[in-house]
Structure 1
Amino acid sequence: MPSYPGGETEKAAYDLATKGEKLVMDYLNISIFDVQEMPIDLYLFFMREAYIHGNMRTKEGREYLENCRRMEQTKPDRKKIRKKIQEQKREG
């Protein structure tokens, strides 16, 4: 699942044992038995897709996904760095 440090906002009193299965069931409109028969790589793919799809529906979810994407980056965005430095030079 996409995630980043500090990205989880609240901890529930109870944890769901079948949260992933429920995501896939609702996303694909299939039964839990169909999910359990699914190959693991396909299940993980659809769980990720369902999680992203759910987050894309809200502003907070899109912000969360953008933060996840940003935290996955391994190379600097040189254009943005140059732009920020130029803005700082103009200001001060």
Structure 2
Amino acid sequence: MPIPEGKIGKAIIDKYLKSEKWEESYILCTSELRRISKYSGLNFNEVLDLPYSLYLLYRKESWIDSWNRTDEGREFLKTLWRLQQTKADIKKIREFQQGKEAKFCH
């Protein structure tokens, strides 16, 4: 899944996937199967019979597809993508530096 492990993943979950205490008692065991089934058109048994690599692909693709359906979901995916970037955005850094220099020049 695209959510990182560890402290960063926990922070993302705490910020974007908030749940109330009562909701923890009603977690669905087959929600992932249902999402994959709706995405792929396969029934539950067909999903369970998929080769593991194909199951993981459908799991990831259906997860992304479900977030892509709303503006808030797309913003969430954009945040995840940004957090996974390891190279500096030189263009944005230069824009930021020029903005700071403009403030000091006045």
With structure 2 as the length reference, what TM-score do the two structures score? 0.78
Between the aligned partners of 1:19 and 1:89, the Cα distance in structure 2 is 52
Quote the offset at 1:36 in angstroms. Answer: 0.6
Q: Is the partner of 1:50 in helix, strand or coil?
A: helix
Alignment of 1:7-46 (within 5 A): 7-8=12-13, 9-11=17-19, 12-13=23-24, 14-46=26-58
Q: How many residues align?
A: 92
- Of 3-12 and 67-76, deviating more is 3-12
Higher RCO (CA < 8 A, seq sep 6+): 1
Alignment of 1:1-92 (within 5 A): 1-3=1-3, 5=8, 6-8=11-13, 9-11=17-19, 12-13=23-24, 14-92=26-104
Q: Is the partner of 2:29 in helix, strand or coil?
A: coil
- Of 58-67 and 4-13, deviating more is 4-13
Give me the CA root mean square deviation.
1.4
Structure 1 portions without partners, runs of 5+: none
**Percent identity over the alignment?**
33
Looking at secondary structure, tell me which structure has more helix per residue: 2
Instruction: Please tell me the residue identity of whatever aligns with 1:10.
Output: K
